[in-house]
């Protein structure tokens, strides 16, 4: 699969100031609006009616001054007074309906957009999440989607209503007195000239603000999450982090101030322009009245219309700015939606039912680097020194291949132990089997089915994973366990927890199975979390088990409990274990010895010791002094 979109995404320049409002971008926005056309049409109709109703009051003023007062017409005066109350009431009620429709459309589109983005990101491979700051993702969901919402509920309706108001007002003004209408329009260039320049500046400021916002979200999620806080506190970096946050926060503040000022200057200019227009109307109109060529009512009506003319003109002169700014939000959301999904189900993917558990790796090579990040010349493999560390999740490895030409087979129900020095590629093997990544070259099969031809969901049902880092949701113990099987009964939960030697501990908690686990499980010790993870996998009852037997942070008591919990779990399942314990290695049906991404040896403990290779060396260095130990680290 080509990852070209990847690197270009990572290189994406957030500060580029020209969001091109292309026809294509507009088309995509309108696609999201399509299901809401009926509501939109009603909303536009309401806007049109309201704009026309707004034309009536100045005509009432003119009638009052030119007819009612000179003729002392009491009956007509009552009618005019009623009209002056009635029109705003009707107009206000229509406005409420229009607002309701607008909000329904806007909120609906945004809900769809958020849902589409969440669905899409759920399908992204691990590579995306190792490349992207979590705060950046949160920012797209919050700030950018809200910006897009402003476009739908604010900017677009504004354009429509201002357009209708402007056209209808001009039409009425021309029919009343065409010379004054032309004079009113003469000041238009004063509005339109500054708008373009201001538009560019405001757009640049807005994009910058969005980037600072994303930076701030990132700092918050990274340094105020439990792991981040631990890191900051243990390294005594609070002052530096506070300073870093202050800098971003102040940048955001300064950007906001600049945006407000630029906008203020712009509106000052517009205010002056409309003042000039109004003064001209009164001056020329007054002159005409003095010459008795025009009535006083006409001037009053005209003056009233001017605000209806200049208001929309100022809004529309700035509309390109507003529109382009709001499109920036859609642009940023679509950027995420356009990221290629690296691991996708093929059309007609096989749904696995019950599998035997025959696992086969055939000439598998894998690189964490995307295609456009690879070294120019093809590397022949890792260098002799093997200094370059292999990475699992997080930073990209500099080594060309994390795994190279790996071929092995695990028979159904057998236990395979992965052994090797740090950075040998053991974790990578455990990522490829559940298809968290696809191999760069070669093929992995389960019961003869290429994993790429199997549906991801049905594959996930077959595999249980216990990783080094047990992740628990901020929820009850029960909810965390039910993640494996939502339909499990209390009795099944307890059976699984007894098997994992954790039931007594849970029963002793203040609320038993309904006790809330702290975020990431920080109210539990490492051993307790690991046993809870084992209970969760027992509940899932998978055919394949992947286990990272991390024991470094466990005391011998916890380790003995976990060891006991694992025995029934490994029974009768195909298991792939990153082995750290001698007992696991001795129990393994086959040992796979990895070094620098290559499979250097495989066989049983006895066979490999007799061979005197890397395994024998690892065994001697770890167990040479105390062969009776059963918990030393062999990787």
Is the C-alpha dihedral spanning 342, 345, 350, 355 positive or negative? Answer: positive
Structure tokens that stand for 52 in this block: 């026309």
Higher pLDDT: 88 or 195? It is 88
Average pLDDT over residues 603-629: 78
- Distance (Å, rounded) from C-alpha 88 to C-alpha 96? 12
Whether residue 487 is found in the same domain as residue 534: yes
Across the beta sheet with 359-366, the strand order is: 403-410, 359-366, 441-446, 449-450
Whether residue 180 is found in the same domain as residue 131: yes
Residue-wise pLDDT for 88-120, tens only, equals: 999 999 999 998 998 898 889 889 989 999 999
SS (H, E, C) 125-176: CHHHHHHCCHHHHHHHHHHHHHHHHHHHHHHHHHHHHHHHHHHHHHHHHHHH
In a domain, 248, yes or no: no
pLDDT reported for residue 418: 94
pLDDT reported for residue 138: 83
Average pLDDT over residues 274-301: 88
Mean pLDDT estimate for the chain: 83
pLDDT over threshold 80, residue 205: yes
Residue-wise pLDDT for 297-344, tens only, equals: 988 888 888 888 877 877 776 676 677 777 888 888 888 889 888 888
Higher pLDDT: 467 or 410? It is 410
pLDDT band at 56 (very low <50, low <70, confident <90, very high): very high
pLDDT reported for residue 243: 94
Whether residue 363 is found in the same domain as residue 329: no
As a whole number of angstroms, the longest Cα–Cα distance in the chain is 122
pLDDT reported for residue 381: 37
In a domain, 230, yes or no: no
Average pLDDT over residues 439-453: 94
pLDDT over threshold 60, residue 247: yes
pLDDT over threshold 50, residue 283: yes
**Which residues lie closer than 8 Å to 392 by C-beta, 6 or more apart?**
427, 428, 431
pLDDT reported for residue 362: 96
pLDDT over threshold 70, residue 38: yes
List the one residue out of 310, 59, 47, 56 whose CA is nearest residue 164.
47
In a domain, 557, yes or no: yes
3-class SS of residue 410: strand
pLDDT reported for residue 513: 92
Domain C-terminal end among 275, 302, 337:
337
pLDDT over threshold 70, residue 457: yes
> What count of other Cβ atoms lies within 10 Å of the Cβ of residue 9?
18
* Residue reference for tokens 């039910």: 482
pTM metric for this prediction: 0.72
Structure tokens that stand for 219 in this block: 């700092």
Residue-wise pLDDT for 136-180, tens only, equals: 888 888 878 877 877 777 787 888 888 889 999 999 999 988 888
pLDDT reported for residue 135: 76
Element (H, E) at 598: strand 598-603
pLDDT over threshold 60, residue 11: no
Percent residues over pLDDT 90 in the chain: 36
> What count of other Cβ atoms lies within 10 Å of the Cβ of residue 111?
12
In a domain, 225, yes or no: no
Whether residue 364 is found in the same domain as residue 333: no
Average pLDDT over residues 400-404: 88
pLDDT reported for residue 5: 42
In a domain, 558, yes or no: yes
pLDDT reported for residue 611: 92
Whether residue 35 is found in the same domain as residue 85: yes
Whether residue 318 is found in the same domain as residue 382: no
- Distance (Å, rounded) from C-alpha 487 to C-alpha 476? 16
pLDDT over threshold 70, residue 389: no
Q: Of 390-399, 584-593, 607-616, give the lowest mean pLDDT range.
A: 390-399
Determine the structural domain holding residue 534 and report its residue range: 359-623
* Residue reference for tokens 């701030």: 216
In a domain, 119, yes or no: yes
For 14, 144, 334, 385, 633, the CA distances from 331, given in Å and listed in that order, are 11, 9, 5, 46, 51
CATH number for 539: 3.40.50.300
> What count of other Cβ atoms lies within 10 Å of the Cβ of residue 325?
23
pLDDT band at 383 (very low <50, low <70, confident <90, very high): very low
Beta bridge mates, 574: 544
* Residue reference for tokens 């906001």: 256
- Distance (Å, rounded) from C-alpha 191 to C-alpha 315? 10
pLDDT over threshold 60, residue 9: no
List the one residue out of 126, 164, 135, 141 whose CA is nearest residue 43.
164
For 388, 389, 526, 582, the CA distances from 557, given in Å and listed in that order, are 36, 32, 12, 17
Structural domain total, the chain: 2
pLDDT reported for residue 520: 52
Whether residue 546 is found in the same domain as residue 594: yes
- Distance (Å, rounded) from C-alpha 467 to C-alpha 546? 8
CATH number for 42: 1.20.1560.10
Whether residue 328 is found in the same domain as residue 370: no
- Whether 377 and 10 have beta carbons less than 8 Å apart is answered as no
List the one residue out of 389, 570, 395, 547 whose CA is nearest residue 468.
547
pLDDT band at 550 (very low <50, low <70, confident <90, very high): low
Average pLDDT over residues 352-375: 83
Whether residue 546 is found in the same domain as residue 470: yes
- Distance (Å, rounded) from C-alpha 469 to C-alpha 478? 19
Whether residue 375 is found in the same domain as residue 311: no
- Whether 413 and 357 have beta carbons less than 8 Å apart is answered as yes
Percent residues over pLDDT 70 in the chain: 86
pLDDT over threshold 90, residue 360: yes
- Distance (Å, rounded) from C-alpha 419 to C-alpha 439? 20
- Distance (Å, rounded) from C-alpha 348 to C-alpha 296? 79
Domain C-terminal end among 285, 307, 337:
337
Residue-wise pLDDT for 178-193, tens only, equals: 888 888 888 777 666 6
- Distance (Å, rounded) from C-alpha 367 to C-alpha 381? 11
pLDDT reported for residue 634: 57
In a domain, 56, yes or no: yes
For 361, 444, 541, the CA distances from 358, given in Å and listed in that order, are 10, 11, 17
pLDDT band at 80 (very low <50, low <70, confident <90, very high): very high
In a domain, 431, yes or no: yes
Whether residue 63 is found in the same domain as residue 98: yes
pLDDT over threshold 70, residue 521: no
Whether residue 199 is found in the same domain as residue 287: yes
Question: Strand locations in 389-457, DSSP E?
Answer: 403-410, 415-419, 441-446, 449-450
Domain C-terminal end among 273, 302, 337:
337
């Amino acid at each position: 699969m080509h990852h070209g979109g990847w690197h270009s995404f990572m290189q994406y320049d957030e500060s580029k100031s020209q969001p091109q409002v292309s026809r294509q971008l507009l088309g995509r926005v309108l696609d999201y609006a399509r299901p809401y056309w009926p509501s939109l049409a009603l909303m536009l109709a309401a806007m049109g009616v309201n704009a026309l109703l707004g034309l009536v009051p100045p005509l009432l003023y003119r009638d009052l001054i030119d007819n009612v007062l000179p003729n002392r017409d009491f009956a007509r005066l009552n009618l005019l007074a009623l009209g002056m109350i009635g029109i705003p009431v009707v107009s206000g009620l229509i406005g409420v309906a229009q607002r309701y429709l607008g909000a329904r459309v806007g909120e609906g589109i945004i809900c769809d957009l958020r849902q589409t983005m969440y669905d899409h990101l759920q399908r992204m491979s691990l590579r995306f999440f190792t490349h992207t700051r979590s705060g950046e993702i949160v920012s797209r969901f919050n700030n950018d989607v809200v910006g897009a919402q402003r476009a739908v509920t604010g900017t677009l309706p504004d354009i429509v209503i201002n357009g209708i108001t402007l056209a209808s007002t001009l039409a009425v003004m021309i029919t009343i007195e065409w010379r004054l209408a032309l004079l009113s329009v003469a000041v238009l260039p004063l509005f339109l000239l500054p708008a373009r320049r201001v538009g560019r500046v405001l757009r640049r400021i807005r994009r910058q603000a969005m980037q600072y916002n994303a930076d701030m979200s990132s700092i918050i999620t990274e340094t105020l999450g439990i792991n981040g806080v631990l890191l900051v506190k243990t390294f005594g970096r609070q002052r530096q982090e506070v300073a870093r946050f202050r800098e971003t926060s102040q940048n955001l503040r300064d950007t906001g101030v600049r945006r407000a000022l630029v906008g203020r200057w712009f509106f000052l200019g517009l205010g002056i322009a409309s003042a000039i227009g109004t003064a001209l109307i009164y001056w020329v109109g007054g002159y005409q009245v003095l010459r008795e060529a025009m009535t006083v009512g006409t001037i009053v009506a005209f003056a009233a219309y001017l605000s209806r003319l200049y208001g929309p003109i100022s809004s529309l002169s700035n509309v390109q700015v507003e529109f382009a700014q709001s499109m920036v939000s859609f642009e940023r959301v679509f950027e995420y939606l356009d990221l290629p999904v690296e691991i996708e189900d093929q059309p007609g993917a096989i749904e696995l039912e019950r599998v035997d558990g025959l696992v086969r790796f055939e000439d598998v090579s894998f690189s964490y680097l995307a295609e456009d990040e690879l070294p120019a010349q093809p590397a022949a493999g890792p260098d002799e020194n093997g200094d370059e560390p292999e990475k699992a999740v997080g930073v990209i490895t500099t080594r060309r291949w994390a795994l190279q030409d790996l071929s092995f087979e695990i028979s159904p129900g057998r236990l395979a132990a992965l052994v090797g020095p740090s950075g040998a590629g053991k974790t990578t093997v455990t990522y490829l089997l559940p298809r968290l990544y696809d191999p760069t070259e070669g093929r992995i099969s389960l019961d003869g089915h290429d994993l790429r031809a199997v549906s991801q969901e049905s594959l996930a049902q077959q595999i249980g994973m216990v990783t080094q880092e047990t992740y628990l949701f901020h929820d009850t113990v029960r909810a965390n366990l039910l993640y494996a099987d939502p339909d499990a009964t209390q009795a099944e939960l307890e059976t699984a927890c007894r098997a994992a030697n954790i039931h007594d501990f849970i029963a002793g908690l203040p609320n038993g199975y309904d006790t809330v686990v702290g975020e990431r499980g920080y109210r539990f010790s490492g051993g307790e979390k690991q046993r809870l993870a084992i209970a969760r996998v027992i509940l899932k009852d998978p055919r394949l088990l992947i286990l990272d037997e991390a024991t470094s942070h466990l005391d011998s008591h916890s380790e003995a409990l976990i060891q006991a919990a694992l025995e029934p779990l490994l029974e009768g399942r195909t298991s792939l274990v990153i082995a750290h314990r001698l007992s696991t290695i001795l129990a393994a049906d086959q040992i796979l010895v990895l070094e620098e991404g290559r499979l250097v040896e495989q066989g049983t403990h006895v066979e490999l010791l007799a061979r005197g290779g890397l395994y024998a060396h690892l065994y001697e260095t770890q167990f040479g002094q105390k062969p009776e130990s059963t918990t030393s680290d062999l990787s």
